[in-house]
Amino acid sequence: MLRVTAAVLIIGLGGWYGYARMSDGEEAEFTKRYLAMASANPDDLQRHFAAVIPNCLPQTARVHLKTQRVKDLTTLTFMKSATLTAEGKSPEEASSVLIPYLIKLGEQMPEDDQQSYIAIVNNGGLQGRTLVCVVLALKTSIYQSDVGGDAEKWQLRR
């Protein structure tokens, strides 16, 4: 069942990829900053993802974030797929990396945690509006931590 659920991620990746690939200007700048952060400080990036994901998940999916293992796998799902997308991977290329990665991590979890993760995916955890919410909330979270009161630096005033 975990393998079938992982295959569903292709659809979610397609939405994430479409959003990121349409981006230019400031979005392209954020993509560069994101990749730099993913490379230099992945723990901090994971903290940002973990902070925004619960608020973006539909309630029907959020109730399944029961254990730290499920929260971590959900966070890694978003983080890894976002990184692959930012690197310019197509949904097919990203899926060929992401699905085996998630299956490997998921198979190490107890059955109850696997079922909770599957329930998150099946209850809208990767639907388009969830992905857009995570992207926007992530940008806000990262900018707030980096700006340090210097609005001019990030052209927050126009």
The per-residue pLDDT string of the chain (158 residues; one tens digit each, 9 = 90 and over) reads 555 455 455 545 555 545 555 456 666 778 888 888 889 999 999 999 999 999 999 999 999 999 999 999 999 988 988 888 888 888 778 888 888 888 888 889 999 999 999 899 888 888 878 888 888 888 888 877 765 544 444 444 43
In a domain, 153, yes or no: no
Count how many residues are written for the chain.
158
The pLDDT score that the predictor gives to residue 34 is 86
* Whole-number pLDDT of residue 142: 82
List helix spans (H) across the chain: 2-21, 26-40, 42-56, 59-62, 68-86, 91-107, 111-120, 128-147
Q: CB within 8 A of 96, min separation 6: which ones? A: none
In a domain, 19, yes or no: yes
In a domain, 157, yes or no: no
Asked if the structure places residue 129 within a domain, the reply is: yes
User: Is residue 156 a part of any domain in this protein?
Assistant: no
What residues make up the domain containing 11?
2-143
Is 149 inside a domain boundary?
A: no
**Rounded (to 5) percent helix, strand, coil in the chain:** 80, 0, 20
What is the model's pTM?
A: 0.78
Angle at 48 between CA 111 and CA 25, to 5 degrees: 125
152 part of a folded domain: no
Return phi, psi of residue 26, to 5°. -60, -30
Total domains, the chain: 1
150 within a domain of the structure (yes/no): no
